[in-house]
Amino acid sequence: MPSDLGLTRRGLVADAVATLAATGIGDVRREALRIWSGLEGGWTARASLDADEPVSCERAAAFLAAVRRRSAGEPLAHVTGWTGFRHLTLRTDRRALIPRPETEGLVELLLARVRVGHVADVGTGTGCIALSLATEGDFDHIVGIDRSADALALAEENRRRVGASVALVRGDLTASLRSASLDALVSNPPYLTAGEYATLDSSVRKWEPELALVGGADGLEAIDRLLDDGQRVLRAGGWLALEIDVARAARCAARAGASGWTDVAVHADLFGRERYLLARRSDAA
């Protein structure tokens, strides 16, 4: 498949559009351009430049292989290897959850309340929350914690890419944290039941880690532990910020109130769904 056979970016993208359209994927031209630009390590806008430039057989084969992966149902972020999160472009693959727009709102809510001191991101995954806090806040120390060694390896790749000062630690939720050591604790914990996980779309269930999605028999195991031990690791007046399941928002807020948290509030995401729980440790030492 040498380049002198007339292979061009324009022709390859057109072929990709036809392949993707047959699968029912929406906005297929945008997806084809994102696949191209992701493999090139650039931005989608650049994919339309020099569209008639000859393409080598190696680049063409890699692109067409990626298109086949996408048409088989693999998430676009995994196919390209990249995803955007707030101001960052991060490496993404099946070692961790794909960062989602809803989680960007959790960062926004926390930064509106605290921007300095020490903060821990529990269940850091790709590192998207911890790295956003490092690049947008003025924190003295940020730690990202995860049970998965694979997820931490991915977070380390992103930490090096971003160049942010974030410590990465393997651990089980807050167990590795010292008492009264934090000004903020943030987490997008697993919050589904096994039954709910089984009903997820295959694009999630087949490609993203179950460990990061299933939170025990009632979906609240990790959240309950964070509400409990968060009181220990936060300093007086420190903030807890959790992404939660819409269907359990009221239960989470009630449990937070019953556990002694103050300023408990549930906030909606960009789609108007009750998605975030914010609470503060009592000012009493």
Quick one: CA dihedral 70, 156, 216, 100, positive or negative? negative
In 22-100, which ranges are continuous DSSP H helix?
28-40, 57-71, 76-80
Q: How buried is 150 (Cβ within 10 angstroms: 0-12 exposed, 13-18 middle, 19+ buried)?
A: middle
pLDDT in tens, 19-76: 888 888 878 888 888 888 887 765 444 544 566 777 788 888 898 999 999 988 899 9
According to the model, what pLDDT value does residue 201 have? 87
For the residues 188-196, what does the mean pLDDT come to?
92
Reported as a pLDDT band with limits 50, 70 and 90, residue 6 is low
For the residues 117-127, what does the mean pLDDT come to?
98
Q: Which two tokens stand for residue 87?
A: 């101001």
For the residues 174-201, what does the mean pLDDT come to?
94
User: How many angstroms separate the Cα of 36 from the Cα of each of 21, 30, 45, 57, 92?
Assistant: 16, 10, 11, 14, 16
CATH number of 83-280, picked from 2.40.33.10, 3.40.50.261, 2.30.40.10, 3.40.50.150 = 3.40.50.150
In this structure, are strands 138-146 and 167-170 parallel, antiparallel, or unpaired? parallel
Nearest one of 19, 113, 115 to 69, comparing CA atoms: 19
Among the listed ranges 109-113, 123-127, 193-197, which one has the minimum average pLDDT value? 193-197
According to the model, what pLDDT value does residue 36 have? 86
For the chain, give me the number of helices (H) and strands (E)? 11, 9
According to the model, what pLDDT value does residue 11 have? 86
What is the spatial distance between Cα 222 and Cα 277, in angstroms, rounded to a whole number?
A: 14
Say if CB 150 and CB 97 are below 8 A apart: no
Percent with pLDDT over 90 in the chain: 67
According to the model, what pLDDT value does residue 22 have? 85
Reported as a pLDDT band with limits 50, 70 and 90, residue 5 is low
Phi-psi region of 155 (alpha: psi -120 to 50; beta: other; left: phi over 0): alpha
Range 204-210, long-range pairs (CB < 8 A, 24+ positions): 206/73, 207/74, 207/75, 207/78, 207/94, 208/75, 208/94, 208/96, 208/97, 208/98, 209/94, 209/95, 209/96, 209/97, 209/148, 209/151
Say if CB 27 and CB 82 are below 8 A apart: no
For the residues 124-152, what does the mean pLDDT come to?
97
Query: Where do the domains of the chain lie?
Result: 3-72, 83-280
According to the model, what pLDDT value does residue 122 have? 98
Residue 214 vs residue 154, higher pLDDT: 154
**pLDDT at 285 exceeding the cut of 80:** no
The amino acid at residue 155 is A
What is the spatial distance between Cα 71 and Cα 73, in angstroms, rounded to a whole number?
A: 5
pLDDT in tens, 193-236: 999 999 998 889 999 999 999 998 898 999 999 999 999 999 99
Nearest one of 107, 85, 111, 109 to 97, comparing CA atoms: 85
